[in-house]
Amino acid sequence: MNFFDKLNTKISQNQSLLFVGLDPNPEMLPERYQSLDIIAGLENWLKFIIAETADFVCAYKPTFGFYEALGVPGLELLIKTLASIPTHIPIILDAKHSDLNTSSIFANTVFTKWQVDAITLTPYTGQDHVAPFLVYPDKAVFILCCTSNPGAAILQKYPNQKSPLYLQVVQESKNWGTPEQLGLEVGTTNAEILKSIRSIAPERIIMARSIWAEDGNLKQILAAGLNANGDGLLIPVPQDMLGSENLSEEVQSLRTEINQFRSEFIHDASTCDVWLPDISVQDKHPHQDLILQLFDIGCIMFGEFIQASGATFPYYIDLRKIISNPQVFNQVISAYEEILKNLTFDRIAGIPYGSLPTATGLSLRLHCPMIFPRKEVKAHGTRRVIEGNFHPGETVVVVDDILISGKSVMEGAEKLKSAGLKINDIVVFIDHEQGVKDRLTENGYCGHSVLSISEIVNTLYEVGRINDEQLLAFRESEY
């Protein structure tokens, strides 16, 4: 079971959005445990917290820094604490990991050896840092986008109130992974900040932090952070509450208060938007509705656009937006699946970084493990070229989003082949045509595409989404 399903199952079973921080902070250790050795006292306290709350929360969140600060005994305590958590309850390791150089080995340790379900990461090294964690499709990451400490405001609110850095982090990180695999961590007592984040990330899980200020208003936080279904927001159990001998009763009371508000909120909330076709065409393209949706949400635009190669195209395609639209993303995955089900392969490889969310979705849909070739070879550690587990001799199908020149996808395929993997097929969503598939064939690959750019443009013209001038500009660009 992947993290998203595991979390939602526990939310439903325990009727709770609450999570508990399992932090061995000696300064917070209740007096009744202080007669013991410090490590033993902390261990007994953490076990008490787990036993008292397991039936009333949806997740546990150990903060890695507290265990790390205690040295080797602290890391041993972390392993014991993880083992004490019931296996059906998700574990989010609060690591705030930020080091690109150790991302691959740390992802392997926390997800494979420690068997945690999700981890918190900082965003400053970008998708290069996050990608090694996303190669585990049944796990998840939470991107830190906002903190509550006053000293951070000068950075997080730069350059201005209308377009602060923390909102730019939210907007960009949405392109790194699917809603099932990438959530947001938000530390704030300001409901307006939470509301602004929810408005541009309605589909994401938000893990709230630092909400329990003396003048904080829980109802305002809930109203700002809940999605239209009355969930999507994880609420921390107050740290001060964890020292109580009546912890179970206090957590149940807080859960009841939250659920009462959720019931009122769901009753008042409107339903989510659903795209419906607004035209009727005979002999329509089998993917007509999908093409129209891609156009309507801004994935396909017409005008004069300079490409990375320096060439000017009369159109621009940005497929990163699909992962924030579940209706479209599901159709895209299904379209890929129709091609992949007729191919033979052992693993799926996404080309970084644009197609990694798609490869993840296909990995989950087809129950097939995923890997990806790095854009750059690491200059440290194992200097591995491929992220993820594989065995030389296996056959890998390569998945990419757009086929323009074929250069990047073939470079990725060659990296996979250099590791002893076999590559026969390359599957993309959109083919820009102009002989690119022929170039793949010349290099020993069979190219497949869901759509060609001609199919897209002709369909949009037939239904009136683009005009004669735009169609003419496209056709002239093809020569």
Catalytic residue selected from 47, 80, 96, 321: 96
pLDDT at 12: 94
- Active site annotation includes 417: no
Interhelix angle 191-200/218-225, nearest 10 degrees? 10
Q: Are 118 and 141 in contact (CB under 8 A)?
A: yes
Distance of alpha carbon 425 from alpha carbon 344, whole angstroms: 9
Q: Are 66 and 28 in contact (CB under 8 A)?
A: no
In the chain, where are the structural domains located? 3-270, 287-477
- Note the CATH number of domain 3-270: 3.20.20.70
Distance of alpha carbon 440 from alpha carbon 406, whole angstroms: 7
pLDDT at 377: 59
| Regions of the chain where pLDDT drops below 70 | 214-216, 267-276, 278-282, 307-310, 377-383, 479
How many residues are listed for the chain in this entry? 479
218 Cβ contact list (under 8 Å, min separation 6) = 211, 257, 258, 261
Sequence ranges of the binding site for 5-phospho-alpha-D-ribose 1-diphosphate: 374-375, 378, 380, 400-408
198-229 tens-digit pLDDT: 999 999 999 999 898 765 689 999 999 999 88
Residue type, 428: V
pLDDT at 291: 94
Fold of 287-477: Rossmann fold (3.40.50)
